[in-house]
Amino acid sequence: MKEALEYSPKILVSQLIDLLFNDVIESASTVTDQSQWRAMGMQAQSVSGESTTDSMVISARLIPVLSPTLKPFVLFTSVSLSYDMVDMVSTVDPRFEAYRIMNEVSGRRVVNVEMEPAEPPLDRLEPLVTVTVDADAREALEMYVKAAQEVCGKGFILDVAWTGKTDVSTEEFIRYVARAHTRMGIPPVILDVDQ
């Protein structure tokens, strides 16, 4: 673990989470304030460091992903993220899964995740999780189509938003969205078969 972290005394919260996921560390927390972090290894080794300014922004954005019960801007403060907690969060909160999938597809360009209860007729597939990526529309929609297959059957609907310019026509937008809907298994309309 030491080797893994040694070259990166300043670390983004998202990188810390990656280390957690990849079995490099067992738990992570902030120490006293949010400028310091500490991670525990599998054999109880302890490594600490300074969080970068960026990490504060990212941590604020990740709060709803990791735990909706945490207060804003206090991610990790006196809270230890163990695997049990991650598993629990990923089971009960689709935001976590949506974040994981889109972050992988986008090359860590997720900047926000929001969830809302879906209204009828989408409520049968609810909830709707909107992931915003740091990209223009075309690139974001290509990511959306790629991610859609993995979302199928996971109990939520994925939507995508982007921070950049809207560089697609309405027709192109519809085509991207239609492909993603098909991959997620969302019926365009519900019909009886005996038509």
Partner 1 sequence: MSLVASGLYLDTSVVISLIASESCHRDVKKFMEEAPKPHYVSTWTLAEALGVLSKGIKSGKSAPGYQLLRKQMVRVGSYLSQSEEVFNYLTERLSEWIAINGIEVCDDLVNNAELKVGSRSVKTFWVIRNAAELAARFGLSAADAMHLAYVWKLCPGTFLTFDSDFVRITNLIHSFLGIKIHVLECKKK
With binding defined as CB under 8 A, does residue 168 bind partner 1? yes
Answer yes or no whether residue 146 interacts with partner 1 by CB under 8 A: no
Under the binding rule (CB under 8 A), the answer on residue 173 touching partner 1 is yes
Give, rounded to a whole angstrom, the gap between the first and last alpha carbons of the chain: 61
Cβ atoms 110, 138 nearer than 8 A: no
Please pick, from the candidates 122, 155, 164, 165, the single residue that binds partner 1 as defined by CB under 8 A: 122
- Return the residue of 21, 83, 124, 165 that touches partner 1, per CB under 8 A: 124
Which region among 17-25, 84-92, 98-106, 180-188 touches partner 1 (by CB under 8 A)? 180-188
**What span, in angstroms and rounded, lies between the C-alpha atoms of 35 and 26?**
20
Q: In the complex, what is the shortest distance from the CB of residue 127 to partner 1, in angstroms, rounded to a whole number? A: 12
153: buried, middle or exposed (CB in 10 Å: 19+, 13-18, 0-12)? exposed
Q: What is the closest distance, in whole angstroms, from the C-beta atom of residue 63 to partner 1 in the complex?
A: 24
Instruction: Please tell me whether residue 111 binds partner 1 under the rule CB under 8 A.
Output: no
CA atoms of 41 and 20, how far apart (whole Å): 9
**Angle at CA 107, nearest 5°, toward 40 and 156?**
85
Q: Return the CA Rg of the chain.
A: 19
Total number of residues that touch partner 1 (CB under 8 A):
35
CB-CB contact of 45 with 5 (8 Å): no
Q: What's the min distance (Å) between Cβ of 93 and partner 1?
A: 21
In whole angstroms, how close is the CB of 112 to partner 1 at the nearest point? 14
Phi, psi (rounded to 5 degrees) for 60:
-60, -35
How many Å separate Cα 47 from the centre of its chain? Answer: 25
Which residues of this protein are in contact with partner 1, per CB under 8 A? 120-122, 124-125, 128, 137, 149, 157, 159, 161-162, 166, 168, 170-171, 173-175, 177-179, 181-183, 186-195
